[in-house]
Amino acid sequence: MKAILAEAVDWYVRLHDSHVSDATRASWQAWLVADIRHAQAWARLEQLQQRMAQAPGGAAMTLETARQDRRSAIKALALLLGVGVVGWQGYWVSPWSTDYFTRVGQRRQLTLADGSRLDLNTDTQVDIRFDAGERLIHLRHGEILVETAHDRRPLSVLTAEGRILALGTRFSVRQEAGVSCVTVAAHAVEVRPERAPQQVMRVDAGQSLNFAADRLGPLLPMAADAQAWTRGMLVTVDWRLADVIAELSRHRPGHLGCAEQIADLRLSGAFNLDDSDAALANLEDSLPVRVRRLTRYWVRVEPRDA
């Protein structure tokens, strides 16, 4: 039976693909009727789907949050349960054991061991490593806002492109593909690209800087309300529609796209990140666009007359 279950799973994975062809569907039908055990195995998969369907909306997030909370407490729990965790102190996490993370659409605020505050924006992963000599926050994905607490150990944020040393401060860091973006709200930070460590750049309050591993971008004035996400808001002043959509889509599961023809429409406004459906409805009111929904998870903004 196990081999047949494996076949059923294989079919399921192929059928679930958004690019599934009619030919594949037809071959699956043929497989399904070829043997009663095929149909039985398929029924088991469907039962499993039923169980998944009983989960409330956002269940994935709830399950991950719960697991994450348990994992954060694992040290205490391990001690309590009398199970040794070997080498816990020297434990430096692999990409798949992040200390803290948020899923798409989720935000989180943490207080770290030294009293520093850390805001995690949507879809973010960080590892925290504090030792006697330094405080390290490793941003693996997404965006964080750090508000440092006073401590004699230096605090740095590590990204794929380099290191950001806090000089007593409130600043945010965003990891994009191949680029790190630093925005400083109070005091200053020092940026050191990974492959050009001699190019140290100080970024002061009200400035932001993008940098790659081997070079620094220009210092730019900080965008208005760049850190409004910590309050669940997106504030845009004269943004391209495509950029607004891209930003909203970071906060919502599934696909949210924008048609080419309307990408350059300009837009100012404030949007609630927790209710991107309302934000989309807003767009329909204020711009010549319409929102086309194929499913809950596939939404595209198009010209109204299309």
Partner 1 sequence: MSTVRPNTECHAGLDALYRQHHGWLRGWLRHRLNDSADVADLAQDTFIRVLLARTADTLNEPRHYLATIARGLVIDLYRRRSLEQAYLEALALRPEIHAPSPETRVLILDSLLAIDRLLDGLGVRTRAIFLAVQLDGLTYEKAAERVGVSVSTVRKHLARALMHCLLFDDA
DSSP code of residue 115: S
Single out the segment in contact with partner 1 by CB under 8 A; choices: 80-88, 129-137, 149-157, 257-265: 80-88
Pattern 265-294, partner 1, x by CB under 8 A:
---------xx-------------------
**DSSP state string for 236-291:** EEEEEHHHHHHHHHHTSSSEEEE-GGGTT-EEEEEEETT-HHHHHHHHHHHSSEEE
Residue 62 binds partner 1, judged by CB under 8 A:
yes
Residue 46 binds partner 1, judged by CB under 8 A:
no
Residue 50 binds partner 1, judged by CB under 8 A:
no
Shortest distance in whole angstroms from residue 99 CB to partner 1: 12
Instruction: Considering only residues 150 through 169, tell me which ones interact with partner 1, judged by CB under 8 A.
Output: none
Shortest distance in whole angstroms from residue 1 CB to partner 1: 9
Q: What are the CA-CA distances from residue 168 to residues 101, 144, 204, 288 (Å)?
A: 24, 16, 11, 46
Instruction: Considering only residues 4 through 33, tell me which ones interact with partner 1, judged by CB under 8 A.
Output: 5-6, 9-10, 12-13, 16-18
Cα Rg, the chain, nearest whole Å: 24
Q: For residue 165, with 0-12 CB atoms within 10 Å meaning exposed, 13-18 middle and 19 or more buried, which class applies?
A: middle
Q: Are strands 255-258 and 233-240 parallel, antiparallel or unpaired?
A: unpaired
Residues that bind partner 1 (CB under 8 A): 2, 5-6, 9-10, 12-13, 16-18, 44-45, 47-49, 51-52, 54-56, 58-67, 69-70, 77, 80-82, 95-97, 103-104, 106, 123, 141, 253-255, 274-275, 295-298
